[in-house]
Chains A and B, each alone.
Chain A
């Protein structure tokens, strides 16, 4: 508990160090210019002529040599920065996600006058307090390691992003103040208008956290798709041009959604552990409910994530086809097979948890007979997604097969087939959720049967449409149009989810309870699905973080500032997997420590059920 109370001081110390280092790096202050008429993309100006006055004020990106990189005995620069960055990203994702989760829960608790939501929200803010300090510490470590090992890169970035770094520090100060007011004022601002004020603090906390992420995203995406600089890397003087680069918006969206999913998964794992350790039915019911709610948030955010990923990838292609081809068709192509396995595991675990949830109500038995069909559809879709396009074969095997592609299974390795598979997985996961939601209800409307028939018709038509789009665009169009199936497929999936949800709400507006619904009546094995989801999310974030960074190849800032260090080569997927695994184990160990520390203050506060 002492650690929790010292958290503000640790954070402020870390921040002070951050400010000093930023001041050092920024050097002579560059004016923030909003009116430079240069293009926001890399300019095609010649090396020798046509340089604007603003560009003349900024030097080109430095051309480094191997000796420009400081060495510290016993430390591998890239590995050190990689690990520090990964730790910071995991914790940052957690502390950005939890306040979103908490804000939603507090608001629902206020609307429903259900104290369970409020007590769960408070419990998670307590956990988040320690995580917040560790996020600041890992951020400081990351900055320190970057300055020590890559000083020229940091000087170059600071010369462009100096104003945003100062802004980052100021918002960080503001966020810290809001965070502590929000947490320590929880009980003081618990009733009436004060509760609204407290909720508003929660909103401000999320606003400042999201702003911090957006600023940091600008630095990261600039390194991938630099803008506001010419081909020599000379800055045009307009910070907005550099911030608003090709990947900034899609990265903001992708990380925002992914953080919610990730936060939900970690909260779910916490609830699962507490569920397994509970000695009373009341605690078991509470943590079962918390695990369900957290899983709902995690999977709810996971569903739109592939679509945000499409946008991100499309922007990578739009910026540089070479980078896009490296990503999807080069050495990283196999990484997406690993990704398919991980996301397949996420879907299977999420569905398994929902199927186990049918046992909470006697009415759930009505739907257990459908599980095997859903499992079959998910497995087939998973296998399609998992199928590689190009096979690595011995010459004799290639000769026997007639080439690198299998004559029947080869087409399943193309994107249209994978898009089809993932959309079908999404739809069947949604179906599992619908069945779970119905498990304790019996519709009594006279037209309910027609409503269900309409839902079935929409569902079957959507599957047919998705398969048709995948086959048509996949095998009967030019290569350049092959990914064109993704948008109508996604629209189809979203249409099913929205339309069926509306019909479902109407059908069950008047309903009866099918049986007593008992939170806590879940098999223990169901909780391991929640652990699997949390571990898989963590590992997946690490792996995709690797590929996002690795497609820069031997560039610090793609195409304008080359990495001349001995570590400039791209590591293999196997090496990256080992690094990610070690990082995941360290991160999980620290998370367990955080849970332990946050529980030192005593048992969870009992909400006392519904207030009104």
Chain B
């Protein structure tokens, strides 16, 4: 019986040490609450509004900067993407179906493997498969409005005409 008690006490002590360490000594970081269930953005009435929404999506819900950043090197940088997109769709290696920069960005978001920037494909696929998910999937879950908004954000940042989405793209979008 004394052996049993000694072993039980020893085991409880070990469990207690692990619990104390994990519960008390590790910084108590509370994970973020899950995003609200219904978060489909309403379509802004102006091109500027659409671009502002796009910036919010780009830096927030879209989780784009998680990989498209200069630190990790996991995905190509998106600085000057409008210019780069126009160059890529004219390049000999382009396999996608986009005709202009807006279509290229949309294609990259909803069908990322249509064309993979060299060096950024899944290992072993020779850049035929992208590690990026379809942004409409629920993991990110962008709506059509939000996809348009991200494109508008890039266009506005590049100083070119906003050609997507907004019914009122006209005056402000020029």
**Which A residues contact B (CB, under 8 angstroms)?**
42, 44, 46-47, 65, 231, 233, 273, 276-277, 318, 320-322, 325, 330-331, 334-335, 337-338, 341-342, 392, 478-480, 528, 531-532, 535-536, 539, 543, 553-555, 558-564, 568-578, 581, 584-585, 588
Contacts and interface: CB of A to CB of B under 8 A. Distances in A.
Contact of A478 (B4, B26, B73, B134): B73
Given A273-B7, A532-B14, A569-B34, 20 more contacts: A42-B137, A47-B136, A231-B134, A276-B3, A276-B6, A321-B132, A334-B27, A341-B21, A392-B29, A479-B71, A480-B72, A535-B14, A539-B14, A539-B15, A569-B33, A572-B28, A573-B22, A576-B22, A584-B15, A585-B12
A106 B16 CA distance: 38
Contacts of B33: 569
A133 B19 CA distance: 30
17 contacts: A47-B136, A231-B138, A273-B4, A321-B74, A322-B139, A334-B27, A338-B21, A392-B29, A480-B72, A528-B10, A553-B34, A555-B139, A562-B138, A568-B34, A569-B33, A573-B22, A576-B22
A325 B68 CA distance: 13
A334 B7 contact: no
B110 A44 contact: yes
Contact of B29 (A65, A555, A572): A572
A542 to B, nearest CB: 10
A519 B3 CA distance: 20
Nearest to A540: B18
B78 interface: no
Contact of B28 (A569, A574, A588): A574
B21 A578 contact: no
B63 to A, nearest CB: 6
Nearest to B23: A574
Nearest to A392: B27
Interface string B137-157: 111100000000000000000
Contacts of B71: 479
A231 to B, nearest CB: 4
Contacts, number: 133
Contacts of B113: 44
Contacts of A558: 139
Contacts of B72: 479-480
Interface in B28-73: 28-31, 33-35, 37, 63, 66-67, 71-73
Contacts of A233: 138
Interface in B121-142: 122-123, 131-134, 136-140
Nearest to A558: B139
Given A569-B33, A572-B29, A338 B138 contact: no
Nearest to A536: B14
A568 to B, nearest CB: 5
B138 A331 contact: no
Interface in B60-105: 63, 66-67, 71-74
A101 to B, nearest CB: 22
Interface residues of B, number: 47
B96 to A, nearest CB: 13
Among B14, B67, B111, B132, residue most surrounded by chain A Cβ atoms (within 10 Å):
B14
A330 B40 CA distance: 26
Contact of A338 (B22, B37, B63): B22
B119 to A, nearest CB: 10
User: What 3 pairs across the A-B complex have the smallest Cβ distances?
Assistant: A559-B139, A577-B22, A554-B34
A321 B131 contact: yes
A141 to B, nearest CB: 23
A338 B21 CA distance: 8
A276 B7 contact: yes
A279 B85 CA distance: 81
A131 B110 CA distance: 50
Nearest to A564: B37
A513 B110 CA distance: 71
Contact of B19 (A322, A560, A562, A581): A581
A90 to B, nearest CB: 14
A139 B23 CA distance: 29
Contacts of B138: 231, 233, 555, 559-562
Given A276-B3, A334-B29, A572-B29, A531 B11 contact: yes
Contacts of A321: 66-67, 74, 131-132
Nearest to A63: B37
Contacts of B11: 531, 535, 588
A532 B14 CA distance: 7
A322 B26 contact: no
Contacts of B12: 585
A334 B26 contact: yes
A257 to B, nearest CB: 22
Contact of A480 (B14, B35, B73, B132): B73
A554 B31 CA distance: 11
A182 B161 CA distance: 77
Contacts of A318: 122-123, 131
Nearest to A557: B138
Among B71, B73, B137, residue most surrounded by chain A Cβ atoms (within 10 Å):
B137
A573 B10 contact: no
Contacts of B16: 581
Contacts of B4: 273
Contacts of B29: 331, 334, 392, 572-573
B22 A320 contact: no
Contacts of A574: 22-24, 26, 28
A558 B28 CA distance: 25
Given A322-B63, A584-B15, A569 B31 contact: yes
B19 A559 contact: no
